[in-house]
Structure 1
């Protein structure tokens, strides 16, 4: 075999090696942890700093890698065609196609990418100097592709779909839990944080009928009794009716000033902070921070009091129920042996229906409101109702308010007949 042929064989193996280099680089930089690189950079690693610089501008790097990979693959295929044509004549093109496909797939794509996925940081740092040099050499090409990408982005720019992004994040959390990379508590915390922006104040507030409040003419003795019996540290104060909340009475301030001889709760209470029921919980949290308060009065669209919301309510949406020494711990949903369950009337209807895998097509916000909506009147104890998929029975009332409902799913028709 002539010297020229040996040179071509060597060039062919160089092309396959470069294909492996570019393929592994692509996988390494797509999977590399920037946080890990920043930590290594802080420890004084120059290669980590260079790899981080390349990773920060991944679009430019990807263009460089793809151009380089295509060039060496085309060059390798051309060289292989020349070699096999010289060796096997007219069948050279066919043989070179088969051989190059196998070589590139095994040694230029699958194997290097598998190795790079196992150690992305190590590969990224090892290849960083060479890649940086190639990026600089291909600056004109990168500039052209950058203009082309901008043009494509303007023409085909997709609309942002927040619900799709949230669904993808939820799927990632589920997969991390399934694979053991995250425990159930961590997963639940992340899910709560993802859903946080979708919640409004109405979904977490204490409704007006459940609010413990004081009239502004109440005596200091009455206020002391309310603090002692309720166990609350803050109580709204209203003038004449709950639609006119005029202050928030703080337990600590109350007892300090009572001891000092104060006789009027109006001199102790702080000005109330108001918020509409449609306010998002994320903005409510900022309102708490700005006003340095822990209780906000929630208003309906007509300016009347709809309820109250506290800092604790917001935190419970993130970390789950928080109990103090005064709280009576009760279950909102109590499963029964017959397959039904007793549900507190204040439970969000959407949460109940989601747990039962039933679509929410109702106007009511709570389970108690749902019972009244389906019955079409103010319910009475033992009143039964049914929807397309569910049955219910009112089991407890507090005056005109439903406080507990027994709920069960209907049996499929074929099972009921059997």
Structure 2
């Protein structure tokens, strides 16, 4: 029985959910609070606890072996074969009743077992403390971290599969964990895609850029040296132009902030915040200050939380409107939707078709007009519904990625 106690205690402490025990220990009141605090400290100082368990279990097993030998020699009069018989019997009993059975129970109910054993283990830790401290002197120090970022990501994935987290929440946590590993080049806009103006650009052109492209800030480049002179706030320029017909660019631009493309995203975010600016010039070499591209505060945040839309963004055929919820134009290529937006394998089809064509195929609606009330359907862990039908018959679909929790009550 005592051997089973120690064996089950060891299994329970290694199998329980430490985060849950810690949350119970933080409760203001409750019967489990004190026990949970003891258990948490036992796990926190697990090397000492394990030494106590092993010392206690060893003593118990030695006593069992000694008593069984005495029993078979003196009581049962087995003579010379008594030691062999006692060894076999005690080994079987210890294996079944002291190891397999108690450890199986503890594996099934680790929290209940650990909380039930809290006080006995606390007392035993105190009694065996001198012995455990002696053994501690011979233990090797583990200088490596107890868990890595990859293990933490795997833990988050397990929690998501259990239905505790939504897929979008899991991705947000994973993005936060790996945020300091990503470099600026992942978020930057290369020079070829950057809209910039020259120092001699006429006011009329700047006004047209503001009206057509709705940029709020734009780099100003020297037309001869191609060096970035500064960042122009176009709204300030337009305001100045209304008051003064010929504003000078050099009087309105602010000094550019240069960031190396090898800078980590978290460092770039801190730098933009400390400099109180929304845009930085990305360069290969900060000493030469070459113009490789730009990065904005929004670009960096999008690496963390996903695509950010504002009222000036042009919405394409696929628009992300929530946590793994999309509005999809029916004309969108089905393969593009699955591969680039849903990050999944496209349905195996003989030819390339649009989302609307595929919807008609799945709902067996080949000729009738699609309406707002037309039925939706589920494919894998994706739900497709008709979100809007425009005047010219253009159909907008709502596509939602279903989690393990939402699938339980999902319709087919």
TM-score bracket for the superposition, by shorter chain length = 0.5 to 0.7
- 1:37 maps to which residue? 22
* Alpha-carbon distance in 2 for matches of 1:255, 1:56: 63
Residue 126 of structure 1, CA deviation: 3.0
- 2:388 maps to which residue? none
- 1:325 maps to which residue? 311
Is the aligned partner of 1:62 residue 2:50? yes
Residue 211 of structure 1, CA deviation: 0.7
Q: Which segment is superposed worse, 267-276 or 201-210? A: 267-276
Residue 38 of structure 1, CA deviation: 4.4
Query: CA, structure 1 residues 213+143, in 2 after alignment: closer, same or farther (shift >3 Å)?
Result: same
- Which of 127, 135, 138 aligns to 2:128? It is 138
Unaligned runs of 5+ in 1: 1-16, 345-351, 357-418
- 1:389 maps to which residue? none
Q: Which segment is superposed worse, 288-297 or 198-207? A: 288-297
Secondary structure of the residue that 1:275 maps to in structure 2? strand
TM-score between both structures, scaled by the size of structure 1: 0.65
Query: CA, structure 1 residues 305+92, in 2 after alignment: closer, same or farther (shift >3 Å)?
Result: farther
- Which of 55, 61, 65 aligns to 1:77? It is 65
- Which of 168, 178, 190 aligns to 1:207? It is 190
Structure with greater helix share of residues: 1
| Correspondence list, 1:256-405, <5 A | 257=240, 261=244, 263-301=247-285, 302-330=288-316
- 1:124 maps to which residue? 114
- 1:248 maps to which residue? 231
Secondary structure of the residue that 2:292 maps to in structure 1? strand
1:235-268 Cα shifts (integer Å, max 9, x gaps) = 2222336842232233554455556658234333
RMSD: 3.9
Secondary structure of the residue that 1:249 maps to in structure 2? strand
Query: CA, structure 1 residues 255+46, in 2 after alignment: closer, same or farther (shift >3 Å)?
Result: farther
CA contact (8 A) 1:246 1:272 kept: yes
Residue 230 of structure 1, CA deviation: 1.9
* Alpha-carbon distance in 1 for matches of 2:103, 2:118: 16
CA contact (8 A) 2:21 2:40 kept: no
Unaligned runs of 5+ in 2: 319-330, 347-412
1:64-100 Cα shifts (integer Å, max 9, x gaps) = 2222222222322332233234436244434434433
1:174-216 Cα shifts (integer Å, max 9, x gaps) = 4444454544323333333343333211122100111111223
Query: CA, structure 1 residues 123+229, in 2 after alignment: closer, same or farther (shift >3 Å)?
Result: same
CA contact (8 A) 1:50 1:128 kept: yes
Query: CA, structure 1 residues 39+340, in 2 after alignment: closer, same or farther (shift >3 Å)?
Result: closer
Query: CA, structure 1 residues 340+183, in 2 after alignment: closer, same or farther (shift >3 Å)?
Result: closer
Query: CA, structure 1 residues 230+98, in 2 after alignment: closer, same or farther (shift >3 Å)?
Result: farther
- 2:178 maps to which residue? 195
* Alpha-carbon distance in 2 for matches of 1:112, 1:252: 73
CA contact (8 A) 1:219 1:264 kept: no
Secondary structure of the residue that 1:298 maps to in structure 2? strand
TM-score between both structures, scaled by the size of structure 2: 0.65
1:20-58 Cα shifts (integer Å, max 9, x gaps) = 222232233332424543443341333333333333222
Residue 170 of structure 1, CA deviation: 4.5
- 2:209 maps to which residue? 226
Query: CA, structure 1 residues 323+291, in 2 after alignment: closer, same or farther (shift >3 Å)?
Result: same
CA contact (8 A) 2:258 2:289 kept: no
CA contact (8 A) 1:32 1:121 kept: yes
Greater than 6 Å deviation, 4+ residue runs: 334-337
Query: Across the two proteins, how many residue pairs are aligned to each other?
Result: 324
- 1:149 maps to which residue? 139
Query: CA, structure 1 residues 217+97, in 2 after alignment: closer, same or farther (shift >3 Å)?
Result: farther
* Alpha-carbon distance in 2 for matches of 1:241, 1:98: 94
* Alpha-carbon distance in 1 for matches of 2:82, 2:217: 88
